[in-house]
Amino acid sequence: MSAISHGQDISLFQQFNGKYDYKAFGNTLNSFENNLDDSFCEILPSSQATLNLTADQTVIAAYLYWAGSGEADTTVNLNGSAINSDLNYSVTFNSPFGELLYFSCVTDITDVIVSTGNGTYEFSELDISGALLSNPGYCSNRTNFAGWSIYVIYEDLSLPLNQVSLFQGLEIINTNVTEKIILLENINVLDNQGAKIGFLAWEGDDALNYGESLSINDNILSNPPLNLSDNAFNGTNTFTNSSDFYNVDLDVYDIQNNIAIGDTSATIKLTTGDFDENGVFRADLIILNNIITVLNSQLPDATIAFNPINASCNSSDFELTYTVSNLNSTDSLPANTPIAFYIDGILIAQNTTLNIIEIGSSETNSMVISIPEFVEGEFELLAVVDDDGTGNGTVNEIVEINNSYIENISLLSSEPIIELDDLLGCDQGFNSAAFDLSVQLDLIDMSFDTSTAKFYLSVEDAQQQINEIIQITNFTNTLEPQIIFIRVESLPCYQLFQFLLNVENCPPVVPQGFSPNEDGYNDWFNIQGLYDIFENHELLIYNRYGSLIFKGDNSLKWRGRSNKGLNDLGKLLPVGTYFYVLHLNDPDFESLAGWVYLNY
């Protein structure tokens, strides 16, 4: 769908920088100049024009313009193929016959010109008959017109580095608005050889030469005998030296004597209107469609863009990778060109380019951006290349308004740590136990993907994903109690869980026998879960007659010998059944009593 703009000012549309120049060709669809012959009130069904580029001229871009009286006809034919407009303009003129509407359309046909190449182009199917028939004012006012033109920007390696600036829109100059001024800025003229200015205008009449001029830097241009200084809009085509380009002007002027080496700006002015021989102010109706300039201007053009940003969870720092480019340029961008970074208009970081960036090249660099404390949640990060941190640039550029890049960024933060139930383990000595940490995953809500779960000893380790606990099914604690952290990935961030490892004393397991024969197996009364756990315990052993024969504690284990009584102290006791009393001396446990069989 094409866009519509009513009376849009002539402004910069595209700029091309390189060894570039342009050619234009096209034709009128009027059979006569409408100001001299009011007998016709229709347009030609088609017309032709020829493109002739040399072998050294390579097409860079091409645009088709067409215009006429009435509302826009947005679909036409070029060489028998339908062409739809990309952009439509319209203007109105308050004539003695009422308000009259005129239009212009433009579309990019680079692919068509590249594939077709040199030869004859036929334009057809432009229909303005409805407007001419329904409103007699067009023909009565003799402003019935239609025509077309193609602009071709090409590269020729024998040319100097030029800046080709294409301005477009649709504006009327007439008795009410007698001039149009365009300020061409951000140039750096190194050589004025070959400098030129051209324009496309509609509805100009050769017979109405009232103060019509085109000037640059207040110097009026002329191209006699085709274009006189006081009749700039006279139905001519400079490219073909034609004076029967009825009600269309496709003209170009050399301006090398009107712009100076070192100029950084130029003023373009178009005028119409003057007094006739009877003292009556008169003016031709001129509808401007585009203006194009070609200048040998060498300047860089810095732009900046971010690579994809990966902000870290729960961190105010992130690594920013950005690319500074010098693409649409005619000179290199100096090293150490400043770059400034802003949030809410506040400067938060600065950097510079590292190297000279040549024409058409880019440079990628990375830096850590620290977000100030006043920034929370989502914010806009603005980067401006060629900005010294005060909003001022240090490099003169082709375009000074394309140096910035802005992107919405969200600081990623996980939810508060979720606490899970404690995990208990039986003391295996010195307040340590073996735990199966994986059982805690069953306590995590099913909305989390526990397949990504990893276990850590601290919050910092979990956040940085370092020092992961690898053995989770047989983990021995090092503190009592000890906190364990689980990290589960949960886009766009992650979620942390924590739980306590608590070690508790479990009831000892008393064996029913042992054999102290020093074979290295079962040589002592090994009560599981007792030693170094119930460290204050007391073990009493009695023979079958009820006599105390052994008294032990945490440091003294029973190995089948007596240390109490009157006889045979320290000797191995005979095979038989013995009785024990185990005082655990723990308020949570009662004493244990039972029997054990000693055998060899």
Asked if 412 contacts 406 with a C-beta cutoff of 8 angstroms, the reply is no
CA distances from residue 73 to 77, 128, 129, 331 in whole angstroms, order as listed? 11, 7, 10, 42
Coil, helix or strand at residue 560: coil
Between 371 and 484, whose confidence is greater?
Answer: 484
Between 160 and 477, whose confidence is greater?
Answer: 477
Alpha carbons within 13 A on the beta-carbon side of 323 = 11
Please tell me the distance from the alpha carbon of residue 5 to that of residue 35, in angstroms, as a whole number: 28
Please tell me the distance from the alpha carbon of residue 106 to that of residue 169, in angstroms, as a whole number: 10
Between 38 and 327, whose confidence is greater?
Answer: 327
CA distances from residue 362 to 332, 355, 510 in whole angstroms, order as listed? 11, 10, 78
Strands 338-343 vs 317-326: parallel, antiparallel or unpaired: unpaired
- Sequence-distant (6+) residues with CB within 8 A of 115 are none
Please tell me the distance from the alpha carbon of residue 583 to that of residue 487, in angstroms, as a whole number: 44
Please tell me the distance from the alpha carbon of residue 280 to that of residue 274, in angstroms, as a whole number: 8
Strand blocks (E) in 262-336 = 266-271, 274-275, 281-282, 286-297, 303-306, 317-326
First to last CA, the chain: 102
What's the burial of 592, exposed, middle or buried (CB within 10 Å: 0-12/13-18/19+)?
A: middle
Q: What does the block give as tokens for 174?
A: 């007439």
* pTM reported for the whole predicted model: 0.61
The model's pLDDT over 530-546, given as tens digits with 9 standing for 90+, comes to 999 999 999 999 999 99
DSSP for residue 139: H
List of domains in the chain:
3-297 (no CATH), 303-410 (2.60.40.10), 418-504 (2.60.40), 509-600 (2.60.40)
Inform me whether the pLDDT recorded for 1 exceeds 60: no
Residue whose structure tokens are 């034919």: 77
Asked if 13 contacts 3 with a C-beta cutoff of 8 angstroms, the reply is no
Residue whose structure tokens are 């914010």: 379
- Sequence-distant (6+) residues with CB within 8 A of 258 are 195, 216, 217, 219, 221
The model's pLDDT over 561-591, given as tens digits with 9 standing for 90+, comes to 999 987 678 888 999 999 999 999 999 899 9
- CB environment 61-96: b (16+ within 10 A), e (fewer): bbbbbbbbbbebbbebebeeeebebbbbbbbebebe
CA distances from residue 259 to 193, 214, 271, 330, 462 in whole angstroms, order as listed? 10, 14, 19, 18, 67
The model's pLDDT over 484-509, given as tens digits with 9 standing for 90+, comes to 999 999 887 899 999 999 999 999 99
Estimate to the nearest angstrom the gap between the alpha carbon of 392 and the chain centroid. Answer: 24
CA distances from residue 517 to 74, 521, 549, 596, 597 in whole angstroms, order as listed? 110, 8, 19, 16, 14
Asked if 149 contacts 65 with a C-beta cutoff of 8 angstroms, the reply is yes
Q: What is the pLDDT of residue 4?
A: 40
Torsion angles phi and psi, residue 305, rounded to 5? -150, 155
Share of the chain above pLDDT 90, in %: 66
The model's pLDDT over 97-135, given as tens digits with 9 standing for 90+, comes to 889 999 999 999 999 999 999 999 999 999 999 999 999
Q: What is the pLDDT of residue 193?
A: 78
The model's pLDDT over 55-107, given as tens digits with 9 standing for 90+, comes to 999 999 999 999 999 999 999 999 999 999 999 999 998 888 889 999 999 99
Please tell me the distance from the alpha carbon of residue 405 to that of residue 383, in angstroms, as a whole number: 5
- Sequence-distant (6+) residues with CB within 8 A of 87 are 2, 3, 5, 105, 106, 107
